[in-house]
Amino acid sequence: MSIADIEIKKFENGNCEEDKVFYQAMEEVIYSIAPLLESDDKYKKNAILERLVVPDRIFKFKVTWLDDDNNIQVNTGYRVQFNNALGPYKGGLRFHPSVNEGILKFLGFEQILKNALTGLPIGGAKGGSDFDPKGKSDFEVMKFCSAFMTELHKYIGPRVDIPAGDIGVGAREIGYLFGEYKKVTSSYEGVLTGKPFMFGGSLMRPEATGYGAVYFTETMLDMEGKESLEGKICTVSGAGNVALHAIEKLQQIGAIPVTCSDSKGTIHDSRGVDLDLLKELKLEKRVSLEEYVKVHPEARYIPVSEYPEDGHAVWDIPCYAAFPCATQNELNGFDAQNLIANGCISVTEGANMPSTPKAVNDFLSHKICFAPAKAANAGGVAVSEFEMSQNAAMARWSFDKVDERLKTTMQQICKRVALTAKDYGVEGNYVDGANIAGFKKVADAMIAEGI
Ligand code: NDP
Ligand code: 2IT
């Protein structure tokens, strides 16, 4: 039995249904870091793994609010403060009906290692609620955000824990959350990132995750001796913050993104996605992608119901590089086989853990350049940290300065990950490289800080 198998056995008992995604994230890390644990027994002596997989604390609270028909609504709110060895707790808030403690533990755990990879002084956290912003009026979203922050403000602070956005939480929600925080604490401070620019948000924070994923991919392709993305067909899933800005950056560098998707269906526009239309539909009107083909009847809309249950339409479309940017486990073994068969050479995870373990194994065994989420989508949280720096210094950085720093950060992460993989005998495996490099940084800090 390998060292990784032994470690995994220890955690198997607590593996309930809700914790499945958390367990999936943890298992990948444990297998990756086996060579590190074998190379130095200080990690075992200090019980780093046992300590790292248990959150420092989890807050769970009731959120009561009044809808537009004056009905009382009740949701559950959470904040998982996972690890602050490297800096204050940092990570997004997700508002989606599927949110539960297990999903937030998976996201918080990934966030620890992702934040470590940025090289910036930030720990890992995640939070959110089972509230569904879809179909709610602005006023209802505001009332929910106020009620959520009435409780959350007790646990956060600019030097304690700094939330940001994630699925269902963008500038609108962050604005309402900030307003309530200000009201209940009487203080005006950088307690949230992803704020609108007019009250302390960083330029380029909205673009950062998508742009960063493309910067990472360009560096990875260059290091692996592959052709660049220029002139190449790319497929992107999702139609939210990360997907829209990945598409935008791909277009800027001369690639041709031909797809996007939401929870109801996929758009395939072989001439290249109309980004202005997409932004109008998703950011302003907040409607289904089905509307896209009313303006562009030559594009194809494939509803989820018309595609076989074991796969997703986006990954059936031939491409040079794929960018899953929607949600966890959206790309499975069936999809991976489709991508590989159709000649895809590169997969970059814009979303958190969008590929199932089977898909990841298939990519690695077929020598696909595979950029795992905790490295490839770290641009969002990196620019969040830049926002914290600007707020603390009462400064404003220009768009170009943020962009330059984001690009450098993504290049450095990519190189560190590739180098670590090489050092531990798994050259070209960015999954192991990212897990080992991130874990080592946090673990060494935990050891230095004592128990
Ligand atoms: P958004 O809420 O802006 O967009 C999410 C998109 O994904 C929407 O198009 C949504 O479709 C789609 N989606 C959500 N759930 C599903 C599903 N079950 N099946 C198919 N499509 C789905 O979120 P973000 O773009 O911010 O986040 C996307 C991913 O990126 C998440 O995994 C998030 O954790 C990760 N991420 C986000 C960062 C950020 O800075 N925002 C930073 C790093 C990672 P619909 O509108 O129909 O629900
Ligand atoms: O998953 C992520 O990295 C985010 N949702 C962004 C976190 C942040 O604090 O900016």
**How many folded domains does the chain comprise?**
2
Is position 123 within any domain?
yes
**235 shares a domain with 349:** yes
pLDDT tens digits for range 425-443: 999 999 999 999 999 999 9
pLDDT of residue 14: 59
**Which residue minimizes the CA distance to atom 10 of ligand 2?**
381
Ligand 1 is surrounded, with C-beta below 6 A, by 165-168, 170, 209, 238-243, 261-264, 325-327, 330, 350-352, 377, 380
Please report which ligand is nearest the Cα atom of 92. Answer: 2
| Residue 123, both tokens | 């720990």
- C-alpha distances in Å from residue 257, one per residue of 272, 280, 302: 6, 18, 17
**165 shares a domain with 262:** no
pLDDT of residue 15: 62
pLDDT of residue 440: 98
Q: How far is the CA of 94 from the centre of ligand 2 (A)?
A: 10
CATH number for the domain including 92?
A: 3.40.50.10860
Largest Cα–Cα separation, the chain: 63
CA distance 225 to 239: 30
**83 shares a domain with 130:** yes
Is position 1 within any domain?
no
**What are the residues whose beta carbons fall under 8 Å from the beta carbon of 45, sequence distance 6 or more?**
none
Please provide the average confidence, as pLDDT, over all residues in the chain.
96
**318 shares a domain with 364:** yes
**216 shares a domain with 179:** no
Is position 247 within any domain?
yes
Q: Quick check: CB of 352 below 6 Å from ligand 2?
A: yes
Q: Quick check: CB of 168 below 6 Å from ligand 2?
A: no
What whole-number percentage of the chain has pLDDT above 70?
98
Is position 196 within any domain?
no
pLDDT tens digits for range 144-179: 999 999 999 999 999 999 999 999 999 999 999 999
Residue 15 burial (CB count, 10 A): 16
Adjacency order of strands within the sheet including 57-66: 57-66, 72-83, 124-129, 89-95, 161-164
Q: How far is the CA of 2 from the centre of ligand 1 (A)?
A: 36
Is position 222 within any domain?
yes
Secondary structure (3-state) at 100: coil
Residue 213 burial (CB count, 10 A): 32
Q: Write phi, then psi, for 332 (nearest 5 degrees).
A: -105, -175
CA distance 239 to 244: 6
CATH number for the domain including 221?
A: 3.40.50.720
CA distance 430 to 419: 9
pLDDT tens digits for range 102-154: 999 999 999 999 999 999 999 999 999 999 999 999 999 999 999 999 999 99
pLDDT of residue 310: 81
The alpha carbon of 413 is separated from its chain's Cα centroid by a whole number of angstroms, namely: 15
Q: Write phi, then psi, for 303 (nearest 5 degrees).
A: -65, 150
Q: Is residue 126 flagged as an active site residue?
A: yes
pLDDT at 3 over 90: no
Q: Tell me if 263 sits within 8 A of 287, measured CB to CB.
A: no
At which of 356, 371, 386 does a domain end?
Answer: 371
pLDDT of residue 313: 97
Q: Quick check: CB of 90 below 6 Å from ligand 2?
A: yes
pLDDT of residue 183: 98
Q: Where are the alpha helices (DSSP H) in 46-170?
A: 48-52, 101-117, 138-152
Q: Tell me if 278 sits within 8 A of 248, measured CB to CB.
A: no
Residue 162 Cα: closest atom of ligand 2: 9
Residue among 90, 105, 114, 126 flagged as catalytic: 126
pLDDT tens digits for range 27-71: 999 999 999 999 999 999 999 999 999 999 999 999 999 999 999
Residue 45 burial (CB count, 10 A): 9
**358 shares a domain with 212:** yes
Is position 424 within any domain?
no
**186 shares a domain with 221:** no
Of 117, 298, 96, 69, residue with least CA distance to 126: 96
Q: Tell me if 278 sits within 8 A of 247, measured CB to CB.
A: yes
Q: Tell me if 247 sits within 8 A of 253, measured CB to CB.
A: no
pLDDT tens digits for range 220-259: 999 999 999 999 999 999 999 999 999 999 999 999 999 9
pLDDT at 13 over 60: no
Q: Which of 327, 329, 348 gets mutated to test ligand 1 (max ligand atoms within 8 A of its CB)?
A: 327
CA distance 372 to 348: 7
Residue numbers of the domain that contains 116: 53-190
Residue 367 burial (CB count, 10 A): 11
pLDDT of residue 266: 98
Q: How far is the CA of 429 from the centre of ligand 1 (A)?
A: 26
pLDDT at 344 over 60: yes
* Strand 161-164 relative to strand 259-261, pairing: unpaired
Q: Tell me if 54 sits within 8 A of 349, measured CB to CB.
A: no
**244 shares a domain with 152:** no
Is position 17 within any domain?
no
**328 shares a domain with 238:** yes
**276 shares a domain with 147:** no
Q: How far is the CA of 240 from the centre of ligand 1 (A)?
A: 6
Of 290, 291, 284, 294, residue with least CA distance to 306: 290
CA distance 79 to 149: 11
**232 shares a domain with 354:** yes
**218 shares a domain with 178:** no
Is position 141 within any domain?
yes
pLDDT at 8 over 80: no
